Structure 1
């Protein structure tokens, strides 16, 4: 073992340790590794930065855009309504349809995004059917993970393995090469969860799941009605021709401006308030008061505001433009301990915090210096567009409850058929092989833009840059291990240990090793490290590389065993009221079953000698 290899292994060990503690963020760790490898002299600058030119990275970015187009056109939520109609009153039928729908949608877009979309949908369905969310949330997560085993583009690890094959001068996997094995595992997963749901509990009818509420329900639950006001800016008001940030109305007077009704020529506009919004004389402000008593203290007269009649909640009057969403704090959120003022929701997310619940009780007065606690839930108000964007920030927020009105306000709902056409065109090009996969995905993105299913700003924001940087930063490690003999060392160790036992034993060892490493670091980083080892093992045996590469890809998606082994599992942890041991109890046996199915099917479809 030479000095360069020891250095690379040391850097890799440090990265893995930082991944486990999640400090700093994984993408920052990947960037540090990308800098450290050329500084150490192990890699050249070109080798360290080669990931930026990898077609798989661009392909993954394009798929994030395609997925957001499906969200913006309301396809995912319409799928939830279809599930409800088809399931009727049967829990078993609902579970089967839910897992099929999530796996199908996740096969062409981010599984994390699909599960985030389906959490409020599933909670709503559970409420209507009087089911405990415990019986549906884990099947939802498992289906999201299995979706990564259905197509080449379903998850980044598949494309990482595919890219490693191409880098070795071999043909990569075709679009549907994963499908036979993935479908078998999906059917196994459905059957398994039909039995395993009994081990999750939740049969007690008194255990009421969180329902999918309406705007009126959310406003009532957070006591907004007593704090809502409509106020007209009178002539001579000190607010005229001034922007909200400089007025500091919330800090000085406890008046939080949510939106503005403004007469524009022959029609009335609704402007969702941001810090840069300028107020004009004649504007009608839709405000949320920190306390109902504010109007009695002379603040309205001092500011030149005239109270107007409010017959019902202004959220109901403007439901197509103005929305509410309930937001929970995930276990790894950095927000507990910060005040509502420090969150900067208006400046960072263009949303207003209008309610807070603690221990299932709403605070009747919302103070900007109120410090958040880990179990708090927030109610945020703003445009539906910005509420949807908040769904992608799963690190610090989880959008837990979207009201029923969201189904009617998808920003490009009328273009859903065109979004499906764009998706079908992309899949057809990938399956036919007429163009490389990355070009097919880019064509799909361009069609989404041409049909106005998504705009450029939304497309850039849809890309999960953290995932891309993680891939780009970890790819040089594979090159470094190759150059310093690390791959050869691991390969010779595996061959020496299990070579006499045959290729099946090596496949099992690769599966276990990949699955175990994936418990501690992301499945993408795991695939980056294990793919070259799989190809090297095949080369040493004189066997086809495809069964070994496929096994690594499947094992990288088999992150069923703990709630922290995949973001998909973490997302359902709180809505499903699960404990860590629930995932161990249900996930470990299923992972073993997936390994057995993989060991049976992979060599049949990808023979060792081919």
Structure 2
């Protein structure tokens, strides 16, 4: 396979990643296997990509973090964090989140605070959730383990034969970046929407689907006759009938057996459906379903549900819960809700059965906005053991006493031995997709190098920025990475940009480290749109955000972030 063909295949891979229908893990695995089959990467190089030391360290770190995320530490901080007005709350929240995200997984930190912020009534959640997500990113770029992206870049660094990145090497630029961007977020807080604070009587609208059953007394009568026009807190939007959508619904429309009615309304107002005999809400009698506990959840990035519909999965069997409503940001999902592919970050309103809390797949699939449902928090002794063990592992690595992987393996054994972490939980939440994605990306990087495709791009970069010198090429690599991370995932952006960065540095015959850092910081610079970063998707529906909301607050943050990175990286990592 020649270099131009390799480049064309990478363009095709990028297009499929942007399209979003196929999982990145599947796409990267297929491309890596294809490059091996065509002889660009031999068998040993292909298989060794999946055992890269930095990649294995990342996997063990994520397994350990599953125990750490159940520490009650963040819950205790939350009461203090949210005192004062919006600006002060944003400052405190961002500072604490960034500090914790420097050593813990970003998704776990946001997940831990998401429910607390959504439930509190002091400050509108919409004023806090985007800053929460941004602060998790900003904290992540300050250390090697703060975000998986830094460890992914370290995997490429080691694979390229360069010295491994150190624990606090990122802090030199990362800390000034975080401080500057937090200050900009506080100053830009008036740009954030101020939706009313959540309460039991004032909750954002959901979209509900109910079916008229066979022999229902509702059938054969009009909407007006059935009293479906004047429901308390609910509005009938449309009717799905034999794969045909009726919208808007007129008062004289006659209902038929099998009609699916789509309502919008508030959570507590759903009980208005109990008065109708012969009406099933997602396959269950309304009166039986609505007698259950209502729990609000957000679909996680580890879930099996994205790109699948409720009709494709046996939802009730898997989770002992019925879906009462679906919400996606502030967007109204139109018709055929049972056939709408679910997305990461969608909010679901569930009517849960008595066994819901005992299903072991809940914590993998959902972030809960209601407390007391999942596994209990760690006790104080357990929390002290887990956190102090983790801090010791970090310290031993930072001072070059013991490798991070060794320390984390010992800590993992202690967590398993003390039953803080279980083998079943490790199997359930093992980051298999991340492992195969990054391992495959390492193979793709080798193919780009061996085929000469990376060199073609590097030569083009040199020609494009020849009049601007090395700094121009450095800026170009950063901007390419930033654009990629806005349209695809951050780890995928780092995987595609790294070979270009390394070849560009070699083309200019300079130290590759500033170009490596351009990729690392650029891959974490996803502030403008919510689709490229999992924590943005997590907060989108609870905050009732539009894409424009992310752009308005994200633009000044992104400009500040980029300016500080481009100014400071050459200072601390000279060419």
Normalization by structure 1: what TM-score?
0.72
SS in 2 for 1:399: strand
Q: 1:25 maps to which residue? A: 23
Query: Relative to 1, partners in 2 of residues 1:574 and 1:512: Cα closer, same or farther, differing over 3 Å?
Result: same
Q: Secondary structure at the match of 1:326?
A: strand
Shift of residue 599 of structure 1? 1.6
Equivalent position to 1:540, from 492, 498, 507: 507
Give the equivalent residue in structure 1 for 2:206.
none
Residue in structure 1 matched with residue 549 of structure 2 by the alignment: 582
> Aligned-pair distance for 1:400?
4.8
Residue by residue, what CA displacement relative to the aligned partner does 1:508-542 show, whole Å, maximum 9, x if unpaired?
11111110112222211221222232223223333
Rounded to whole Å, the distance in 2 between the matches of 1:291 and 1:606 is 60
| Distance in structure 2 (CA, Å) of the matches to 1:463 and 1:408 | 18
Aligned CA distance change for structure 1 residues 591 and 371 (closer, same or farther; 3 Å): closer
- The match for 1:325 among 276, 279, 295 is 295
Question: 1:152: how far off?
Answer: 0.6
Separation in 2 of the partners of 1:512 and 1:384?
46
Cross-structure match for 1:105: 100
- Counterpart in the other structure of 1:138: 130
Aligned counterpart, 1:61: 59
Partner secondary structure for residue 377 of structure 2: coil
Instruction: Tell me: CA distance 1:211–1:171, structure 2 relative to 1, closer, same or farther (3 Å).
Output: farther
Q: Could you tell me which residue of structure 2 aligns to residue 119 of structure 1?
A: 114
| 1:328 and 1:378 in contact (8 A); partners too | no
Partner of 2:310: 338
Relative to 1, partners in 2 of residues 1:347 and 1:601: Cα closer, same or farther, differing over 3 Å? same
* 1:376 CA displacement: 5.5
Aligned to 2:246: none
The equivalent residue for 1:399 is 367
Q: Deviations over 1:132-161 (max 9, x none)?
A: 222111101111221221111122321232
Partner of 2:263: none
Pick closer, same or farther for the CA change 1:354–1:166 going to 2, 3 Å: closer
Change in CA separation of 1:423 and 1:291 when aligned onto 2, cut-off 3 Å:
closer
**Matched ranges for 1:405-554 at <5 A:** 405=372, 409-410=376-377, 414-554=381-521
Q: Residues of 2 paired with 1:45 and 1:456: CA distance?
A: 31
In the aligned structure 2, how far is the partner of 1:102 from the partner of 1:121?
13
Deviations, residues 50-90 of structure 1 (Å, cap 9, x unaligned):
22111122111111112111123x33xx3133231354333
User: Corresponding residue for 1:170?
Assistant: 162
Q: 1:534 to 1:335 in 2, by over 3 A?
A: closer
User: How many Å apart are 1:484 and its aligned residue?
Assistant: 0.8
Per-residue deviation at 1:165? 2.7
Contact kept? 2:316, 2:322, Cα under 8 Å: no
Unaligned runs of 5+ in 1: 228-249, 257-287, 293-312, 316-323, 361-368
Deviation at 1:412, TM superposition (A): 5.2
- Partner-residue secondary structure (3-state), 1:184: helix
From 64, 74, 80, give the equivalent of 1:79. Answer: 74
Q: Where do residues 88-487 of structure 1 align in structure 2 (5 Å cutoff)?
A: 88-125=83-120, 127=121, 129=122, 131-202=123-194, 207-209=196-198, 289-290=288-289, 325-328=295-298, 334=306, 338-339=310-311, 343-345=313-315, 347-348=317-318, 351-353=319-321, 356-357=324-325, 371=338, 377-381=349-353, 389-393=361-365, 398-403=366-371, 405=372, 409-410=376-377, 414-487=381-454
Q: Tell me, what secondary structure is at the counterpart of 2:69?
A: helix
Tell whether the 8 Å contact from 1:52 to 1:472 is kept in structure 2 after alignment: yes
Q: Aligned residue pairs: how many?
A: 492
Q: 1:86 to 1:42 in 2, by over 3 A?
A: closer
Q: In structure 2, what is the Cα distance between the partners aligned to 1:43 and 1:197?
A: 50
Mark the CA change 1:330 to 1:53 in structure 2 (over 3 Å): closer, same or farther: closer
Q: Is the 8 A contact 1:157 1:527 kept in 2?
A: yes
Does the 8 Å contact 2:87/2:189 carry over to 1?
Answer: no
* Kept in 2: contact 1:448–1:454 (CA 8 A): yes
C-alpha contact (below 8 Å) 1:212/1:401 kept by paired residues: no
Contact 1:102 1:114 survives alignment (8 Å) = yes
1:254 touches 1:291 (CA, 8 Å); kept in 2?
no
Distance 1:94 1:389, change over 3 A: farther
Kindly report which structure 2 residues correspond to 1:2-21, keeping only aligned pairs within 5 A, or say none. 3-21=1-19
Q: 1:105 to 1:389 in 2, by over 3 A?
A: farther
Q: Is the 8 A contact 2:145 2:151 kept in 1?
A: yes
Name the stretch that deviates more: 29-38 or 40-49. Answer: 40-49
Partner of 2:222: none
- Provide structure 2 residue ranges, at least 5 long, that are not aligned to the other structure: 203-265, 329-335
Distance in 2 of aligned mates of 1:410 and 1:513 = 42
Residues 290 and 533 (structure 1), Cα distance of their counterparts in 2 relative to 1, 3 Å cut: closer
Shift of 1:330: 8.3
Measured after TM superposition, the shift of residue 557 of structure 1 is 0.4
Shift of residue 447 of structure 1? Answer: 2.7
Distance 1:510 1:104 in 2: 28
2:568 match: 601
Instruction: Tell me, in whole angstroms, the C-alpha distance in 1 between the residues paired with 2:337 and 2:9.
Output: 42
Note the C-alpha offset of 1:94.
2.0
Q: Cα distance, 1:413 vs. partner?
A: 5.7
CA distance in 2, matches of 1:122, 1:291: 26
